[in-house]
Every structure is written in structure tokens, then in C-alpha cells.
Structure 1
Amino acid sequence: MTVGASRNLSSHSATVVTSQRVRDGHDDAYQSWQERMNRAVRHFEGFEGTELYPPTNGDGNEWVVVFRFSSVEQLTAWLESGARQQLLDEGRPLFDGPATQEVLAGGTPAAPDQEAVTAVISHDVRPGREQDFERWQSKILKAQEQQPGFMGSELFRPLQGIQDHWVVAFRFDTRDHLDAWLDSEVREELLKEGRNYFSSYDVRKIGSAFSGWFRFGDGEDEGVPANWKQAMSVVLALYPTVTVLNLAVNDELGDAGVPGYLNLFIGNLLSVSVLTWLLMPLVNRGLAFWLQPSRAKSARTHILGAVVVIVCWGILLTIFGLTLD
């Protein structure tokens, strides 16, 4: 996401954001069905990843799924495929009404260690008011830039034959900051003006702090843990990683005369690599009973997992305290 600027479309990457309400009592069946969808999409050319976001308080039983492809053409081939249509037909008894779907061509994916919440808003722009709508979006952006926690915004134009709506995706650092903007008087006043240019709009929220590091099942996102669980787990893996690398690599590079800025870059590169491909997968497996949304359903499990992490923190602090001091 480009911070503080609206971007035009590029022809490189493509994302589809699908929002689906699920019938009450069918959540487990829906997740099993979605896992089948995830396995099927992996076989399509250009597929890059998928993320599943369970409902949050106030969103009803609405699940959001994100599929990412290398190009619009490859994404379109998946959307129009017989394999996907067959799965949709099989899953229809689980759905509470039709899904909403937005295709975003281009854009910049956020880094997996960046805590952020994204709102995706689609607009039915009135014919002939497209330029007025774009100027109005510029006013929206200027107002957003003054809001606490704003991280960036992108404007996606319609794609002929694929996407009829104008879509805006913007990011805030926390859900509270996003909700504060969505409920603000400033935005309400701007919406009154904007209704001259669009006939309707729809808002969907996508939130995750470190979703790229939390994967379950067959390598796909079975669901995203709560942000506080993600933060605790990342600290559990990050603290020993940084400490050991500082001792084993950074100090040696400094003694060898490597400039500080380059030393820091190498340290960051190694830290992220160790976390992504070694420690976070181990943390995921060890704490799956607590991190995996479909398994962590009781207060006892939430508390037990938090206690386990805090005890591990204490063990690490004790070990490094005894060996480094």
C-alpha cells in the first residue's frame, strides 16, 4: 500500500476480495468447504496465495476470502473455471445470500510483519460522473491523511468485463483507528457530497497483524489468530532471533569493519528469514491449539496458550540473563 498517495492500476498483480455470509451453525462446514477451494486454486497458473478472515464483532457472520494471482488474466481464468463453479454449487447450501466480489488489479501487498487493517469499499459510480468521483476521492484522501493511524490508500478503476465497480482500499494501523475514521463526522460530511457521484457503496474490512507468518493446514490460511496472539507469538520467536544474531553476526561484522547501516540491513534480512522459514512454522505447530481459530474456542484455551507463551518468555529471559550478564 502506498502511504499517503492514491495509485493508478498496474497490469501486474491481481487480487479478488470475496465476502460471504454463512448460515448460522454452518461455520465448521464452511471452513471445510473453503479448504477444498484453497486446495483447488493452488493448481491454477499464477496463483500466489489466499487468506481467510473470520467474522469479527459487529460484522455478522460474514467471512472474507482474499485470492492473489500474478495477473488479471490468470485470476480471470480461475474465476471462470469449471472447478471453481462446481465448488460454488456444492457450497451454496452453506451460504446466507449471494457473495460480494471485488477484483483489484495492481496494488502493493503489505509486508507480513506490518500490523494493519484494510477497508475495501466498492462504489457504483453514476454514468458521466467519473471525473467528479475521482476529484472527490482526492478530497477523501486529504482528509484521511489527517487521521491517526492512516497508512495509505489506493483507487482501483473498473475492469471491462470483470469488475464494474470503482474500488478504494485504504489501511489504518489498528481496527480502532479504522473504525474511528469510518464513523467520523468528517467522513459523513464527505459522503453527503459523494452521493452526487455514486448511487451506492459497500464496505468490507480485512484485518491481520502478521498473517503471512500464521499458516495452518495445507499451507493456506485456515483463519487468522487474534492480533494479540499474533503479537505474543512473534515476540516469542523474534527475541531469541535478534539476540543470537546480534551476538553471532552483528558483532562480528562490526569488528570486521562493516558499516553500521549495512550491518543493520544484514541483521534484518537474516532475522526475517529465520522467522519466516524456521521459527514461526515451529511456533505455529507448537501453539496451534491456541492460534488456530477453529481449535481455540474456549476461554480456558485462550488463557492456557497465553500462560504458555509468558512462561516461555520467562525461560528465554532467564537463559539470556544468565549467559549474557
Structure 2
Amino acid sequence: MSEPAHTTPAAEGGPVTVSVSRRVNPGREDDYEAWVHGIAAAASEFPGHQGINVLRPSAQTGGRYVLIYRFDSDAHAAAWEASDQRAHWIEKLEGITGDEDERKRVTGLEVWFDLPDVPAAAHAPRYKMALVLIMVVFGLVFPLQVYLGPAMAGFPAWLRSLVIVIIQVLLMTYLVMPRVTALLKPWLFSSR
């Protein structure tokens, strides 16, 4: 089964998230659920695999199943995607799913704008991502410099910068960006 893709260039060594949206033929939902368990088990055997999430048909997914899988690097994701095991499982979809699959692959900074309830075909325009990142990075780095700068006055400049960058990236990844992206979802993913 072919899988058309919206693909962005992958950063070497960066994490990769791929979402695949499929419409399951009526009455074949149990077969698809069994298929998901099988392909998830097969993917988990591959180096760099970081998990699979399944969104079941809803208004947010356009009535489609969305399978989201993650690998720690583009090379590991590519190894899975080119594997005989994956090809075997894709062949098993014959008769279970209907129309063409929709794929979205995000790497690098785009991962910060990835929402599990956004259909696979949707992606935020780069200018909107840039605007949000400028605001968020400034909103984190400035206070970190103001409050941590004096406490680290005796540290070498490179170490002060490293500490601030580590805190900023961790805050963005785990606390700030999931909330900002969810809050701005109507604007980020609109066609305007």
C-alpha cells in the first residue's frame, strides 16, 4: 500500500516523529486493532524505537485512525521504514483500510509543534513556528539570565550559557511548548 508523505528534511541524529492516518473499512476495526498490536511489537524490536501512540477515530482525526511512532534518529526511523518486517505488516493491511494513507514526518524543532490530536496532513507554516519560537525563547532566556546570571557570575561564560540553554530546552520540551502549541492550535494550524 502506498503512503504519500509530507516530509521535512531530517536533522542528522535528531528525533523523528511519524504519524500515519488511515481510514479503516467498516467492520474491519477489530482487524486493524490486531494489526496495530502486531506492528507495534515488531517496531519495538528496532534500535532507537521510542514508542507508538494510537488515536482512534474521532472528530479531531477526521474519522481516521492515526498511528504515531517515534525513533531517536532519522537513521533508525529509516531502518524501520525500509525493513522487511514493516513491509510484511503493511501488506497485511490489504482489505482492512480504504483510501490512501496520509503521512506526516517531523524532526527537529517541528516536534515542538506536534499535537497528537491534529490530523496527519496538518502542519504549522514555518513563519508561524518561527514567530512562536522567538517569543517563547525570549520569554525563557531573558528571565533565566536575569535570575541565574548573578548566581553564576564566577562561572566561565560558556558554562553560564550551557546551564541556561539546558534549562531553556528542557522547559520548552516538557512544559512550555506542549501548552503553547495547544493554546495556539487554532491559529497555528489554520490556513490563514
Please give the range of the TM-score, normalised by the shorter of the 2 chains. 0.5 to 0.7
Q: 1:13–1:68: 8 Å Cα contact kept in structure 2?
A: yes
CA RMSD of aligned residues (A): 3.5
1:40 paired with 2:57, answer no
% identical aligned pairs: 19
In structure 2, do the counterparts of structure 1 residues 50 and 117 end up closer, same or farther at CA, with 3 Å as the change threshold?
A: closer
Distance 1:136 1:87 in 2: 37
**Larger Rg: 1 or 2?**
1
- Post-superposition Cα deviations, 1:93-129, rounded to whole Å, max 9, x if no partner, equal 111112111222235878xxxxx76536248xxxxxx
Cα offset, 1:9, TM superposition: 5.2
Of 37, 58, 66, 1:64 maps to 66
What stretches of structure 1 of length at least 5 have no aligned partner? 1-7, 111-115, 124-132, 146-150, 154-169, 192-325
Cα offset, 1:59, TM superposition: 3.9
What stretches of structure 2 of length at least 5 have no aligned partner? 1-9, 137-175
Q: Counterpart of 2:27 in 1: which secondary structure? A: coil
More strand, by proportion = 1
In structure 2, do the counterparts of structure 1 residues 13 and 60 end up closer, same or farther at CA, with 3 Å as the change threshold?
A: closer
Q: 1:12–1:106: 8 Å Cα contact kept in structure 2?
A: yes
**Counterpart in 2 of 1:15?**
17
Q: 1:16–1:104: 8 Å Cα contact kept in structure 2?
A: yes
- Where do residues 64-143 of structure 1 align in structure 2 (5 Å cutoff)? 64-107=66-109, 119=118, 121-122=122-123, 134-135=126-127, 138=130, 141=132
Q: 2:18–2:106: 8 Å Cα contact kept in structure 1?
A: yes
Q: Counterpart of 1:92 in 2: which secondary structure? A: coil
- Where do residues 118-197 of structure 1 align in structure 2 (5 Å cutoff)? 119=118, 121-122=122-123, 134-135=126-127, 138=130, 141=132, 152=177, 171-173=181-183, 178=185, 180-181=186-187, 187=190, 191=192
TM score, norm. by length of structure 2? 0.58
Amino acid at match of 1:92: E
Q: Give the structure, 1 or 2, with the largest relative contact order (CA under 8 Å, sep 6 or more).
A: 2
Q: 2:17–2:111: 8 Å Cα contact kept in structure 1?
A: no
Amino acid at match of 1:39: A
Q: 1:9–1:105: 8 Å Cα contact kept in structure 2?
A: yes
Q: 1:50–1:68: 8 Å Cα contact kept in structure 2?
A: yes
Q: 1:13–1:107: 8 Å Cα contact kept in structure 2?
A: no
